[in-house]
Structure 1
């Protein structure tokens, strides 16, 4: 369901917006009136998105994040919304067999990239007296998935970062929340084994995967003006999987 005009006059940046959850969030905010800039390194996928600005940004590069956010905020006339959706799963392996290079690669994108973006956006929004930051975590960050130690622990760290920043900005008009989806049918499945995909589905009481549009519905509510009293929180979209 599209809420026409809900984001009229608002300016948003969505990282990882070329596919999956990020793309669904960017499209919905665009359709609801926001001016949206998508960040991704998949320039081919971004090129076919109508009605949004796009920029090739590697969010694991702190200097690139700072420069791009300043440039895009200037181009749009401000920044009201940041959705941090860029992420990878990494390989499926036990903790003791997990390749060190993959561990660092997952953390660089899933956690450090979120931190770099939040770190730059927070003072901009604080100075404006309004803002919405929504980070994409995962139910794996709350419950831990076996054979996914880097993904699970990096997403747990995103939840902790979100809660910390939310409290720091609680009296500023800027809210910071995260969403913890269970497995969602998206291109990220291409990074996983069939056995691991089956395991994740078996853990969802609804017996199905989520959709990117279902996650975008939660994200866009948290990104709107109406969600003014929710901050420093983690919202589950898990088909019943979440246990706390």
Structure 2
């Protein structure tokens, strides 16, 4: 088991992809602390994962809202107390936010989505980093997705927050490079989770004809298996990935299992990062600004 003895905290772990990541970690031998807002569903998920663990005390949990600083501080403190430290943080908790044109969506809902998706992850990192710095190692995994790398009309809060989250991860990776801590973002693929159901429930009139048609097709096809992204999250939590940091990695399209052998080349490049494309990158010569 590649995560034997690893102590991990996974947010948004009571359903969907977060639960799949937590399950994979347990199967790989990690001790896992779960958090989510829905306490009843969290209890159900926690007990199911305890049944998979070598010992029930290897899985602990508590309800928490990552957008609330006090909740985050209490959650991280509880995880450190339960396991004697923290090696891995997976920031998975997130929402789509309001759906529709920016001039008509509810402003508070839009702002709340930014606070949860971006602010919640930053708060978790702020709380976890002192413990990781003190022990001289750690791994942080941020959940990105399609919103970080392409426009998502009518889902502007989600797209803006995920793009910001990836750039935060790149920045944080450089801040903690000398502390033995890696920071990476993961694009797990097109998942059939509650977020997809939200899009289908909203309808084409709120999310746009193209995105709605894409969602219908994804629902019918089954989407990307949750285990694929969970496997990547386990890899990034393992000792094998310690040379990989500051990257946005696709579980579906990138040869991530080979990255440790390419770590030196990655270190000096902008591969798997967010960057501005200039005309020369596309074979265009548009002149020099005066």
Give TM-score scaled by structure 2 length: 0.76
Q: Higher RCO, 1 or 2 (CA under 8 Å, sep at least 6)?
A: 1
Work out the CA distance in 1 between the residues paired with 2:23 and 2:68. 25
Tell me the residue number matched to 1:98. 105
Would you say the 8 A contact 1:139–1:236 is kept in 2? no
Give TM-score scaled by structure 1 length: 0.89
Aligned residue among 78, 82, 86 for 2:89: 82
Matches for 1:1-244 after TM superposition, within 5 Å: 5-49=1-45, 50=48, 51=50, 52-192=59-199, 193-195=202-204, 196=207, 198-201=212-215, 209-237=223-251
Gaps of 5+ in 2: 51-58, 255-271, 275-290
Structure with more helix by fraction: 2
Q: Deviations over 1:135-157 (max 9, x none)?
A: 10112111121111000000001
1:238: Cα distance to partner?
Answer: 5.3
1:60: Cα distance to partner?
Answer: 0.6
Q: Deviations over 1:96-130 (max 9, x none)?
A: 22220111110111011001001111221011111
The count of corresponding residues between Structure 1 and Structure 2 is 236
Taking a change above 3 Å as real, the CA distance of residues 41 and 180 of structure 1, as seen in their structure-2 partners, is: same
- The structure with the largest alpha-carbon Rg is 2
Work out the CA distance in 2 between the residues paired with 1:161 and 1:84. 13
Gaps of 5+ in 1: none
Would you say the 8 A contact 2:172–2:183 is kept in 1? yes
Work out the CA distance in 2 between the residues paired with 1:188 and 1:202. 13
Work out the CA distance in 1 between the residues paired with 2:217 and 2:22. 29
Would you say the 8 A contact 1:136–1:178 is kept in 2? yes
1:71: Cα distance to partner?
Answer: 2.2
